[in-house]
Every structure is written in structure tokens, then in C-alpha cells.
């Protein structure tokens, strides 16, 4: 299979102002290895599709356009899609833009030294998230539980014929430097007859992280897509809450790596979907 030429892009306002007081927007584009990096700035009054098209045509040593542009920020998505459509490039709304996010963190420190820095508080990766929405009952399976898998077993799992699989190489335990015996926490859903339907829905939703949120009641929240949030389960049972706390604590030892497994039943014979998850 031919590998795709991928760019990761962010186009949004920064804590910078021009001499005339206008807010400055910055376009950052890189590839996943950051061997390609491109920066362009413009005042807010010039933030238009045509400006973005012109910049995209300048990127790269030969001005070759990519196959895909990944965008994690919802506020960047509409403009990027408009510009990319003119250029015949696909846009992929995707939170897993690790290289770009690292660069944004570095740029946030560099702004502090710029004359145009406004001094305002700035969180380069912050996104406004809506309240979580309950998962539709017609998707829900028979039961769910917290579980662990030895890190060394994950490679065996992803080599099985699983219909829906999302396990990026950089999230594999061996590539994170995790011991093969380290327990990786996760959630297993026995979907019964709904197993494949639930796995297909999750594939479309693009799972990102699965968080335990203590409260009254406690909750298990799936973050997916760019800013979507779903209530997977709520519980008041002390035993389940204790398992949830262990699930959260184990992630401190796994660099945040966890998994979601959907299967028809607990026989261990067949899986419908498997996702490796980790917050960038």
C-alpha cells in the first residue's frame, strides 16, 4: 500500500497583536516527523480562504500538495476545508496530531519573547468541549467492565483478524518503552448481538480517550472526534468505583495508554473492535 503524504495544520489566533492592535493569526504546518515545518502569520482582517490557499501552495520544497491535511482544532476546520477543496486535497479532522501539538507547545514559549506578545493567558491545545451526551440505548451491549492486559499481549491481539482495529504504531507499548509485563488498563464491552453495530458506531465516532469522572454518580466518559463527549456508563456501586480508580491510577504508570475492546461475549474467541487510546 502506498504511504500517504500527510500534513498536520493549525490556523488560529495567537496571543499576539500587530502595531495597529489587530489580533494575529498564525498558520503552522508540519509533517508527522517535523522534517517539514512551515509558519505564516496574518492579521485577523486578512483571515480568508484565498490567503490560506496561497500559503498552502507555498509549503514544501517543491510546493507539492499533500494527500491529507489533519486538523485537530474545530475553529480551524471550516477554513481549512474550504481552502483544501479548492486545491483538491482531503482534510481529516483528527485529534491525533502529535507532532503539531508538540510544536504548538514549543511555539507558546517562543511567543513570550516576541515584541507582539500580548501577555494574555494562553493554552495552545485547549478546546471547548460540550457537555457529554448519553450513548444511545440501541447501541449498548450486554455488560461492560474494567480490565487489564499485559503490555506484551497487545501485539498478539492486534495481529488477530479483528474487523475494526485502531492501534497506531506510536501507541504500541513497545514503542512507548513500556515493560511487556506492565498491566495496561482498559474497558471491555460484551456487546452481544449489538457488538458489531457498536464497534461500527465507535469507528465512525473516532475514540480518543476513555475517562473516569468521579461524581454523584461516577461516570465513564468517551471523548471522540474533535470535541465530542459521550456518557458510556454511570455507576454508584463502590466496587465498580474502586475498579475505576484503579483504572485511572494504572494510567499514571502507562503514560496514559489504555484500551477499549468490544466483543460479542467473554469467550475470548472473537473480537469486534479494539482501540488503543492515549491523550496527546
Q: What is the pLDDT along the chain (280 residues), one digit of tens a residue?
A: 346 899 999 999 999 999 889 999 999 999 999 999 999 999 999 999 999 999 999 997 677 899 999 999 999 999 999 999 999 999 999 999 999 999 999 999 999 999 999 999 999 999 988 899 988 877 777 789 999 999 999 999 999 999 999 999 999 999 999 999 999 999 999 988 889 999 999 999 999 999 999 988 999 999 999 999 999 999 999 999 999 999 999 999 999 999 999 999 887 778 999 999 999 8
Nearest to 79 by CA among 10, 158, 161: 10
Q: What is the pLDDT of residues 171-213, one digit of tens each?
A: 999 999 999 999 999 999 998 888 999 999 999 999 999 999 9
Domains of the chain, residue spans: 6-111, 133-277
CB 129 within 8 A of CB 227: yes
Contact criterion met (CB below 8 Å) for 155 and 172: yes
Q: How far apart are CA 27 and CA 38, in angstroms?
A: 8
pTM for the structure as a whole: 0.87
The H or E element containing residue 85 is helix 74-87
Grid cell locating 117: 506578545
Predicted local distance difference test score (pLDDT) of residue 2: 47
Cα–Cα dist 145/240, whole Å = 8
Query: Which pLDDT value is given to residue 78?
Result: 95
Q: Which stretches within 138-269 are classed as H helix?
A: 151-158, 195-205, 238-250
Bridge partners, 218 (sequence order): 235
Between 3.40.630.30, 3.40.50.300, 3.40.440.10, 3.30.420.10, what CATH number should domain 6-111 receive? 3.30.420.10
Q: Give how far the C-alpha of residue 256 lies from the chain's centroid of Cα atoms, to the nearest Å.
A: 13
Decide if 15 contacts 120 (C-beta within 8 A): yes
Q: Strands of 218-224's sheet, edge to edge?
A: 133-134, 228-235, 218-224, 207-213
Backbone angles phi, psi at 255, to 5 degrees: 60, 25
**CA contacts within 13 A on the Cβ side of 172:** 14
Residue 1: predicted pLDDT:
38
Residue 188 forms beta bridges with which residues? 145, 261
Amino acid at each position: 500500500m502506498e504511504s500517504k503524504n500527510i500534513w498536520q495544520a493549525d490556523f488560529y489566533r495567537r496571543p499576539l497583536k500587530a502595531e495597529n492592535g489587530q489580533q494575529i493569526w498564525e498558520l503552522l504546518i508540519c509533517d508527522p516527523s517535523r522534517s517539514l515545518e512551515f509558519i505564516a502569520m496574518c492579521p485577523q482582517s486578512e483571515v480568508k480562504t484565498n490567503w490560506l490557499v496561497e500559503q498552502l501552495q507555498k509549503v514544501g520544497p517543491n510546493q507539492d500538495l499533500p494527500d491529507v491535511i489533519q486538523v485537530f482544532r474545530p475553529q480551524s476546520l471550516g477554513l481549512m476545508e474550504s481552502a483544501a477543496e479548492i486545491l483538491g486535497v482531503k482534510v481529516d479532522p483528527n485529534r491525533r496530531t502529535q507532532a503539531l501539538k508538540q510544536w504548538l507547545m514549543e511555539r507558546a514559549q517562543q511567543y513570550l519573547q516576541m515584541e507582539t506578545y500580548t501577555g494574555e493567558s494562553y493554552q495552545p491545545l485547549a478546546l471547548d468541549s460540550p457537555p457529554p451526551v448519553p450513548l444511545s440505548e440501541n447501541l449498548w451491549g450486554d455488560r461492560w467492565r474494567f480490565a487489564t492486559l499485559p503490555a506484551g499481549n497487545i501485539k498478539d491481539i492486534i495481529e488477530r483478524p479483528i474487523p475494526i482495529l485502531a492501534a497506531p504504531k506510536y501507541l504500541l507499548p513497545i514503542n512507548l518503552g513500556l515493560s511487556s509485563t506492565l498491566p495496561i488498563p482498559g474497558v471491555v464491552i460484551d456487546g452481544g448481538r449489538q457488538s458489531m453495530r457498536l464497534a461500527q458506531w465507535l469507528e465512525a465516532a473516532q475514540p480518543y480517550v476513555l475517562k473516569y469522572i468521579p461524581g454523584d454518580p461516577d461516570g465513564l466518559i468517551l471523548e471522540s472526534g474533535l470535541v465530542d463527549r459521550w456518557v458510556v456508563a454511570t455507576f454508584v456501586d463502590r466496587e465498580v468505583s474502586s475498579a475505576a480508580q484503579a483504572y485511572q491510577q494504572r494510567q499514571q504508570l502507562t503514560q496514559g495508554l489504555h484500551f477499549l475492546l468490544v466483543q460479542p461475549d467473554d469467550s475470548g474467541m472473537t473480537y469486534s473492535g479494539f482501540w488503543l487510546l492515549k491523550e496527546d
